[in-house]
């Protein structure tokens, strides 16, 4: 008799169950307080998350997309500006740029790390002297830091602002420095499946250097109708607040985030050891980086058959992302593309496959999945 196939629980519910007692108590505390919007939980979470990241300021907002919009608006980005980012990302990165009124220009990725290729960034800036480039948004995709030293050097040389999209990299480091502390601002998402996830939507803008107090203060105004004081709008803002329930839940989970990221690296180590197959490329870690494996993404030219083979063994996988942003219907044919085109972004979308990855998976399940990858023959 064979053993039953191991289970692959869905991350959000597995996480709720792991912290149920504390989360239930936190939710009840908020309900009983009567203070549901911009109260003590949000303020406390902002301080705790800023400290956790090692940043000067944190402002809680409604989600990661708004965090990008608010960071850009607070930095003065809008109509007439061009913001550089990648096409191989969650569509939210690009949608947020356009929501500010700015134009997006998409640059290709380095195929090994799936992050912004600094050389192509430099080439693109040089090839478009007529454009008013205002900022660049590197995305630390899948939990792997982008090449921040090179990107910062290019950005500073060309007078560009840098906003790090940290929706997938809570706590990842490069050269011992935490992602989200390299640029002029950084944005986080607390969508339920992220490394730090709420039970609903949530996001944050984090700022770092000396100008920060102003940028963070601007985000605070913009997230609430542009109010400097109650009922009086100094600028035209929006409504994008991190609510008290979500903040209280995030406060329960934050103290576990370092251990959870460590567990993700442990799972990655199992894959590196057991998912060995000449037809499958495992993800390398950038030199000097501490990866946080939001996703564990392998690549293979026969991705779809690998996915089907794993599914036949009860191993759930996903494709992040099946289409690069520039070829999706909303953007195709009108979005600007960087020097050298987007061939690596297009190839990545055809070849990537995300294996099961979250802290609540058992070693047994992970090794089972890894052995099925290893045994697969295209
Ligand atoms: C999830 C995500 C976002 C958007 O966050 P939401 O909270 O869903 O709005 C932005 N960028 C990246 C890279 C993401 O993964």
| Mean pLDDT for the stretch of residues 203-209 | 89
Pick from 139, 168, 205, 223 the residue to mutate for probing ligand 1's pocket: most ligand atoms within 8 Å of its CB. Answer: 168
| Of the candidates 33, 38, 57, the residue with the CA atom closest to the CA atom of residue 46 | 57
Ligand 1 center from residue 60 Cα (angstroms): 14
The pLDDT score that the predictor gives to residue 5 is 85
Query: Which ligand 1 atom is at minimum distance from the Cα of 202?
Result: 7
User: By 3-state DSSP, what share of the chain in percent is helix, strand and coil, each rounded to 5?
Assistant: 40, 15, 40
Domain check: are 47 and 158 in the same one? yes
Q: Which atom of ligand 1 is nearest to the CA of 66?
A: 9
Looking at the chain, how many residues does it have? 378
Q: Which of 255, 270, 289 is the last residue of a domain?
A: 255
Tell me the mean pLDDT in the region 160-186: 98
| Residue 217 is assigned to a structural domain of this protein | yes
Pocket test for ligand 1, best of 88, 93, 203 (most atoms within 8 A of CB): 93
165-169, 225-229, 249-253, 368-372: segment of lowest average pLDDT: 225-229
pLDDT, tens digit, for every residue of 237-296?
Answer: 999 999 999 999 999 999 999 999 999 999 999 999 999 999 999 999 999 999 999 999
Q: What pLDDT is recorded for position 2?
A: 54
Find the 141 Cα to ligand 1 centroid distance in Å: 10
Q: Is the pLDDT of residue 209 over 90?
A: no
Confidence tier at 369 by pLDDT (50, 70, 90) = very high
Ligand 1 is surrounded, with C-beta below 6 A, by 63-65, 89-90, 92-93, 139, 165, 167-168, 189, 191, 201, 203
Residue 168: DSSP 8-state: T
Best substitution site from 12, 69, 90, 166 to test ligand 1's pocket, by max atoms within 8 Å of Cβ? 90
Condensed to tens digits (0 to 9), the pLDDT of residues 294-331 reads: 999 999 999 999 999 999 999 999 999 999 999 999 99
- The answer to whether residues 63 and 195 belong to one domain is yes
Query: Is 135 in contact with 77 (CB distance < 8 Å)?
Result: yes
pLDDT tens per residue across span 16-33: 999 999 999 999 999 999
- Residue 179 has a pLDDT of 98
Residue from 12, 99, 180, 189 whose mutation best tests the ligand 1 pocket (most atoms within 8 A of CB): 189
Same domain, 123 and 154: yes
Q: In this structure, is residue 4 part of a structural domain? A: no
* Structural domain harbouring 202: 13-255
**Within a domain: 207:** yes
Same domain membership, residue 31 and residue 141: yes
Q: Is residue 2 part of a domain?
A: no
From 255, 287, 315, give the residue that closes a domain.
255
CB 205 within 8 A of CB 67: yes
What separation in Å is there between the alpha carbon of 93 and the centre of ligand 1?
A: 7
> How many distinct structural domains can be found in the chain?
2
User: Per-residue confidence at 169, pLDDT binned at 50, 70, 90?
Assistant: very high
Whether 211 shows a pLDDT value over 60: the answer reads: no
On whether residue 6 sits in a domain, the answer given is: no
70 and 104 belong to one structural domain = yes
How is residue 12 annotated by DSSP?
H
Distance 75 CA to ligand 1 centre (A): 20
| CA atoms of 245 and 30, how far apart (whole Å) | 6
- 105, pLDDT greater than 70: yes
**Do 238 and 216 belong together in one domain?**
yes
- % of residues, the chain, pLDDT over 70: 98
Average pLDDT, rounded, for the chain? 96
- Domain match, 220 and 179 both: yes
When pLDDT is averaged across residues 326-338 and rounded to a whole number, the result is 97
52 and 193 fall within a common domain: yes
Band of the pLDDT at 1, cuts 50, 70, 90? Answer: very low
What distance in Å separates the CA atoms of residue 45 and residue 61, rounded to the nearest whole number?
Answer: 11
* One domain for residues 267 and 237: no
Neighbours of 1 (CB within 10 A): 3
Cα 227 to Cα 248: distance, rounded to the nearest angstrom: 24
The rounded distance, in Å, linking the Cα atoms of 354 and 183 is: 28
Distance, in Å, from the CA atom of 149 to the CA atom of 141, rounded to the nearest integer, reads 16
Please indicate, yes or no, if residue 1 is contained in any of the structural domains: no
Are residues 152 and 207 located together in one domain of the fold? Answer: yes
Beta strand 227-229 with 232-233 is antiparallel
Q: Which atom of ligand 1 is nearest to the CA of 190?
A: 7
* pLDDT score, position 4: 74
Alpha carbon 101 to chain centroid distance?
22
Under 8 Å between Cβ of 171 and 145: no
Which ligand 1 atom sits nearest the alpha carbon of residue 189? 7
- Quick one: which H or E segment has residue 245? helix 244-253
Strand order in the sheet with 133-136: 57-61, 203-207, 185-189, 161-165, 133-136, 82-86, 103-107, 336-337
DSSP single-letter state for residue 346? H
Q: How far apart are CA 54 and CA 199, in angstroms?
A: 25
Mean per-residue pLDDT, 118-144: 97
Q: What is the pLDDT of residues 23-65, one digit of tens each?
A: 999 999 999 999 999 999 999 999 999 999 999 899 999 999 9
SS3 284: coil
* Contacting residues for 99 by C-beta, under 8 A, at least 6 apart: 65, 69
pLDDT band at 212; cut points 50, 70, 90: low
Contact (Cβ atoms closer than 8 angstroms) between residue 206 and residue 221? no
* Domain co-membership, 209 together with 341: no
- Ligand 1 atom nearest residue 168's Cα: 15
Please report the atom of ligand 1 found closest to the CA of residue 141. Answer: 13
Looking at the whole model, is its pTM more than 0.95?
Answer: yes
Residues 319 and 265 in one domain: yes
Rounded to the nearest angstrom, the distance between the alpha carbon of 64 and the centre of ligand 1 is: 5
> Does 141 fall in a domain?
yes
């Amino acid at each position: 008799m064979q053993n039953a196939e191991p289970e692959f629980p869905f991350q959000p519910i597995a996480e709720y169950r792991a912290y149920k007692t504390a989360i239930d108590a936190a939710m009840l505390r908020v309900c009983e307080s009567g203070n549901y919007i911009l109260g003590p939980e949000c303020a406390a979470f902002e301080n705790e998350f800023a400290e956790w990241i090692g940043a000067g300021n944190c402002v809680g907002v409604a989600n990661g997309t708004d965090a990008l919009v608010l960071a850009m608006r607070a930095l003065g980005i809008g109509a007439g500006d061009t913001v550089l980012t990648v096409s191989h990302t969650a569509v939210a990165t690009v949608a947020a740029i356009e929501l500010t009124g700015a134009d997006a220009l998409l640059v290709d990725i380095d195929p090994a790390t799936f992050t912004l290729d600094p050389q192509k960034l430099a080439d693109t800036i040089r090839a478009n002297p007529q454009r008013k480039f205002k900022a660049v948004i590197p995305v630390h995709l899948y939990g792997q830091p982008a090449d921040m030293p090179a990107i910062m050097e290019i950005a500073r040389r060309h007078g560009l602002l840098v906003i790090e999209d940290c929706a997938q990299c809570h706590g990842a480091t490069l050269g011992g420095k935490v992602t989200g502390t390299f640029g002029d601002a950084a944005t986080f998402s607390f969508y339920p499946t992220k490394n730090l996830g709420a039970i609903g939507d949530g996001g944050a803008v984090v700022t770092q250097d000396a100008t920060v107090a102003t940028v963070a203060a601007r985000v605070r105004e913009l997230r609430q109708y542009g109010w400097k004081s109650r009922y009086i709008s100094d600028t035209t803002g929006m409504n994008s607040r991190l609510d008290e329930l979500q903040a209280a839940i995030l406060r329960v989970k934050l103290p576990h985030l370092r251990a959870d990221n460590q567990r993700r690296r442990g799972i990655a180590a199992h894959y590196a050891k057991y998912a060995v197959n000449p037809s499958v490329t495992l993800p390398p870690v950038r030199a000097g980086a501490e990866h946080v494996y939001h996703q564990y993404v392998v690549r293979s030219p026969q991705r779809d058959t690998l996915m089907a083979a794993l599914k036949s063994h009860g191993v759930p996988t996903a494709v992040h992302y099946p289409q690069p942003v520039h070829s999706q219907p909303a953007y195709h044919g009108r979005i600007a593309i960087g020097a050298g085109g987007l061939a690596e972004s297009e190839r990545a979308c055809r070849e990537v496959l995300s294996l099961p990855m979250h802290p609540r998976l058992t070693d047994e399940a992970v090794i089972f999945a890894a052995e099925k990858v290893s045994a697969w023959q295209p």
